[in-house]
Structure 1
Amino acid sequence: MPSNAPLILFWTRYFNKPVDVAAIPRCSVLVEWTNDRRRLAESDAVVFHLPNFREAGDAHKYPGQLWVAWSMESVVNYPVMADAAFMRHFDVVMTYETGSDVWRPYLPQASWWEAARHAPIPPKTERAPAVHFQSSSFNKSGRDTFIAELSRHIAVDCYGRYRPNREIIGPDLGRQTKLETVGRYHFCLALENSIALDYVTEKMFDPLAAGTVPVYLGAPNAAAFVPDNSFIDAASFSTPAELATYLRQLIETPPAYEAYLAWRSNPLPEKLAAQIASLDTPPLCRLARLVTQRLTQHGAGQPPGKPSLPFGGKAFLRTRWRRWLAARRGRSM
């Protein structure tokens, strides 16, 4: 690696594991990636995974260094992302929010949409109209109450580790088995674990790929991330009972139901297609490009000066204490 290539350091883990820098795709701009904290002083940019923000407290910030806040998790579940006093220490934001410096949404790439549009629609063979997959107990959206009430009015088959009432029969091949299962139902409950602007996850996109209709509860602007008339907005109904009535009406009126699948025969809306095209470059490569641009604008190399401790002495000591405890227990942090 040339000595003048910018160095980008991942300071925190990605949840419970160090970032696998060897798996980062080759980018058109030349940078070096590392998760070796001993190289902090020479790093041009330092990336912090915000769900692991408690690991950030002992990081010193060197003059001219870019700090990157990275997360794909909902701001509702990790309110530190909305804490102005905390976020002011970062120069670059890389999240699912459309206003981020590096936008990293769950929105699939163009090849995914092409495959979804041309895949056959599976026959709807299950007796229950709706299916739901859930493995986490996170419930900031009220989805537990929603499912319980909806299930009083229409049958819902629930799979996953969290409160299932059905199990996969035969070998479970992960996402492939999930999509095959979802495709046998008229509707899939796509319920986010929290409701936040722009937070539209695979819960919306998996049913579209499977050839069924998502019943979505989540981001109020979810329609911006999918083709027109491709999902049912649960929040537009006064009660789950009213929603259940509508779902039954769709099943009893095949043309009305099929209208929700018609998007597969049409080009994607121009604005959505443009958003998707902007994601062709992998997100970390877009980060590398932005870091390179900013270093060029402000001059390569770090100016002289002493490093600061942005989160203060108490955070430094707490973080070092947690690292010591983790090391004593044989775990990395």
Structure 2
Amino acid sequence: MPSNAPLILFWTRWFNRPVDIAAIAQCAVPVEWTNDRRRLAEADAVVFHLPNYREIGDARKYPGQLWVAWSMESVVNYPMMADAAFMRHFDITMTYETGTDIWTPYLPDADWWEAARRAPMPLKYESAPAVHFQSSSFNKSGRDTFITELSRHIAVDCYGRYRPNREIASPDLGRQTKLETIGRYPFCLALENSIAPDYVTEKMFDPLAAGTVPVYLGAPNAAAFVPDGSYIDAASFGTSAELAAYLRYLAETPQAYEAYFDWRSKPLPECLTRQLELTASRPENRLAELVRQRLSLRAGPPTGRPYLPLGFKRFLSTRLRRLSGKFRER
């Protein structure tokens, strides 16, 4: 590592475990990564995982240091992301939102899309027409009510840790088994835990990879993240009965159902291709490059004393909580 390589410190954990430095050590941009909080004073940039916001309060900010706000979670679930008074402490933002400094959507890369297009269509043989996977109780989107009401009109097989009515058959090989299970159904309920622009997660993309039609409830601009005509917008139906009737129609009309897979034989839309180009480089590479750019603009060596951006009261409560090991993230 060059002696002048910027040092980027991950101050917080990633939910309940330390950031895996080894996994990003092969970054194409010459920087040094660490999660050793003892090196705070020498760090050129400090990254804070916002869902672990309780761990931020005892960080001092040193002159010239860049603070990075990092999150893949919905602003609805973590409203501090929309709090200007809180966010002003950060110099770089790194989230799923398109206006962020370093855009990190859930959008799969170009190789994923090509593999999804080539994958054979699986046989649909389950008795229920729809499947749903859910393990979290987060429900800011109203998905609990959505499933309850839809299930009154059409059968839904639910898997996962949250309110399942079916169990995965052994052996459970994780993601592979999940996709194989989804592929056995004509439809997959792709229900986000909250509704926010740009917040389009793997819930949309897993059914596309599995060869199943997503029934999507989530971001109002979800169409910008997928090929045209590849999913069903649940919000476009006035009632659950209307949606159920449409799903039954598709299940009984092969030509209409198969039209949802026409995207596999067409080029990806230009807007999606542009997004794939913007995110072709890994997030850590783009972060490292931006940090180096920002540092190069310095007029001279930074001067001044470190301070506590969130105040002494937050510093003290965070330090006491850290000493007692009583952080609660989720």
Residue number in structure 1 paired with 2:153: 153
**Structure 1 alignment gaps of length 5 or more:** none
Q: What amino acid sits opposite 2:50 in the alignment?
A: L
Superposed CA offset, 1:36-87 (max 9, x none): 1111111100000000011110111111110000000000111111111000
What is the correspondence of 1:127-276 to structure 2 with a 5 Å cutoff? Answer: 127-276=127-276
Secondary structure, counterpart of 1:172 in structure 2: coil
In 2, the alpha carbon distance for the partners of 1:311 and 1:118 equals 51
In 2, the alpha carbon distance for the partners of 1:211 and 1:243 equals 20
Residue number in structure 1 paired with 2:317: 318
How far is the alpha carbon of 1:95 from its aligned partner?
A: 0.2
In 1, the alpha carbon distance for the partners of 2:315 and 2:100 equals 28
How far is the alpha carbon of 1:3 from its aligned partner?
A: 1.8
How far is the alpha carbon of 1:25 from its aligned partner?
A: 4.8
Q: What amino acid sits opposite 1:278 in the alignment?
A: L
What is the correspondence of 1:272-311 to structure 2 with a 5 Å cutoff? Answer: 272-299=272-299, 302-311=301-310
Q: What amino acid sits opposite 1:132 in the alignment?
A: H
Q: What amino acid sits opposite 2:186 in the alignment?
A: H
In 1, the alpha carbon distance for the partners of 2:227 and 2:299 equals 43
TM value normalised by structure 2: 0.97
How far is the alpha carbon of 1:264 from its aligned partner?
A: 0.6
TM value normalised by structure 1: 0.96
Superposed CA offset, 1:259-287 (max 9, x none): 10110111100110110122121101100
Secondary structure, counterpart of 1:203 in structure 2: helix
How far is the alpha carbon of 1:304 from its aligned partner?
A: 1.8
Residue number in structure 1 paired with 2:111: 111
Q: What amino acid sits opposite 1:306 in the alignment?
A: R
Contact 2:25 2:33 in 1 (8 A): no
In 2, the alpha carbon distance for the partners of 1:275 and 1:26 equals 24
In 1, the alpha carbon distance for the partners of 2:10 and 2:115 equals 34
Equivalent residue pairs, number: 328
Residue number in structure 1 paired with 2:102: 102
Residue number in structure 2 paired with 1:67: 67
Superposed CA offset, 1:239-270 (max 9, x none): 11110000011111111100101101111001
Residue number in structure 2 paired with 1:27: 27
In 1, the alpha carbon distance for the partners of 2:92 and 2:266 equals 37
In 2, the alpha carbon distance for the partners of 1:67 and 1:208 equals 37
Q: What amino acid sits opposite 2:170 in the alignment?
A: G
Task: Provide the alpha-carbon RMSD of the alignment.
Answer: 1.4
**Structure 2 alignment gaps of length 5 or more:** none
Identity of aligned residues (%): 78
Residue number in structure 1 paired with 2:38: 38
Q: What amino acid sits opposite 1:127 in the alignment?
A: S
In 1, the alpha carbon distance for the partners of 2:3 and 2:181 equals 51
Q: What amino acid sits opposite 1:101 in the alignment?
A: D
Q: What amino acid sits opposite 2:69 in the alignment?
A: A
